[in-house]
Amino acid sequence: MRLTTLGGSAASPNMGMGASGLLVESGSTRLVLDLGPGTLPELRRHTDFRTLDAVIISHMHVDHLLDLLSLRHALAYNPIPAPAPISVFLPPGGMDVLARATAPFDACDEPGRFDATVRVAEYDPIQPLRVGDCVVTFAPAVHYLPAWAMRVQSEGSADLGYTGDTGPAADLAPFFAGVGVLVAESTLLEPGSGPVAERGSLTATEAGELANAARAEILVLTHMWEELDFAEYRARAAVAFSGRIEMATPGLSLSW
């Protein structure tokens, strides 16, 4: 399995770094997990966006899906057409949100032009989602709207875990047990004063604790603010996790 990070910023892009987005490759299968603002240009550096097997969205926050609109536009107008629509899997309720977001743009062009570029469906988080060589399973996160962590499995490789956005009350360590690589959001340096059960983001230390509890081999920190100092994120995570720590900078590539 191979992971390429497309961005690692928190709620808005940092300088030269898009928001949430991961390219996952296994065998002949290429998945994108989240496609936040600024991630499509990075995706194009590493693969042909016209022939992706699927894009899977963890939750319907703009920093995790905005470049879906750019992807539809690119597929509609690029001089080299895609061989088929790209499959896009949204969380429950996501189709209505996306339809309302894209309706004004669809009204400005030939009817159905943008819709024909993608094949949108909602995944059932209770059921595994098979895409090519990969099986994606889901676990509920604790966030400010319904959100889902993901685990990607492919025969012959250790698994990939991705938290999406979540607070510590989700208790995702059993879901991620034994993953080869864990991509964990680490938005915060300090937990703040609010109730832990209601908090929708992890600290970098909590991301390290999750990786340690899950016995992950590699921890990739993502969803970070440049204003809080990337070196400090790493240092806080290293307090709780003694394994290899990487930062989700654009183009980071890991194979295992």
Torsion over CA: 25, 30, 33, 34 (sign):
positive
Q: What are the boundaries of each domain within the chain?
A: 2-255
- Helix (H) / strand (E) containing 75: helix 67-77
Instruction: Note the pLDDT of residue 113.
Output: 80
- Cα 221 to Cα 5, 19, 203: the distances in Å are 11, 13, 10
Q: Which of 230, 234, 232 is nearest to 219 (CA)?
A: 234
User: Are the beta carbons of 151 and 106 closer than 8 angstroms?
Assistant: no
CA max distance for the chain: 55
Summarised one tens digit per residue, pLDDT across range 116-162 is 899 999 999 999 999 999 999 999 999 999 999 999 999 999 999 99
Distance CA 166, CA 184 (A): 9
Task: Please say whether the structural domain 2-255 has been given the CATH code 3.30.499.10.
Answer: no
User: Are the beta carbons of 232 and 206 closer than 8 angstroms?
Assistant: no
Instruction: Note the pLDDT of residue 77.
Output: 94
Burial class (CB in 10 A: 0-12, 13-18, 19+), 248: buried
Instruction: Note the pLDDT of residue 106.
Output: 83
Summarised one tens digit per residue, pLDDT across range 16-63 is 999 999 999 999 999 999 999 999 999 999 999 999 999 999 999 999
